[in-house]
Amino acid sequence: MASHNQLGKKAEILACDYLKKQEYKILFCNWRFAHLEIDIICIKNNLLHFVEVKARNESEQVHPEEAVTKRKFKFLKTAAEAFLYQNSEYKNVQFDVLAINFTNETDVNYFLIEDVFL
């Protein structure tokens, strides 16, 4: 597995742990529809959250949240529409980005950007 894939998998596990500590209830990790994927689908305060997780090592010059492009967000919205079609009980939704910066093996910084629209 490529190192960026390993970093992404590690970030998604840490993201789920982080969100649980913030009192989110995790419904799905890596929910798929056709070729599309939603990293995390969770609930907090009766609000359904579609969370895109992005991670970077500190040595990289770009912040993880900058990797969520308009194209990526369009795919996320399409996948979310498919999820909502299959799960019509959810009415209130929000798109979030959870950026994770690895400064070293043990030091991790989280930056949750809520209610994102591009």
Domain that holds residue 93: 3-113
Q: Report pTM.
A: 0.91
- Among 45, 15, 44, 47, CA closest to 29: 15
The answer to whether residue 118 is domain-embedded is no
Q: Where on the phi/psi map is residue 115: left (φ > 0), alpha (ψ -120 to 50), or beta?
A: left
Judging by beta carbons within 10 Å of its beta carbon (0-12, 13-18, 19+), is residue 59 exposed, middle or buried?
exposed
Q: What is the pLDDT of residue 79?
A: 97
Query: What dihedral do alpha carbons 55, 59, 65, 66 form, nearest 10°?
Result: -130
pLDDT per residue as tens, the chain (118 positions): 555 668 888 999 999 999 999 999 999 999 999 999 999 999 999 999 999 999 998 766 788 898 898 999 999 999 999 999 999 999 999 999 999 998 876 789 999 999 998 6
CATH number at residue 62: 3.40.1350.10
The answer to whether residue 86 is domain-embedded is: yes
Q: According to the model, what pLDDT value does residue 74 have?
A: 94
Per the domain annotation, does 82 fall within a domain? Answer: yes
pLDDT at 1: 53
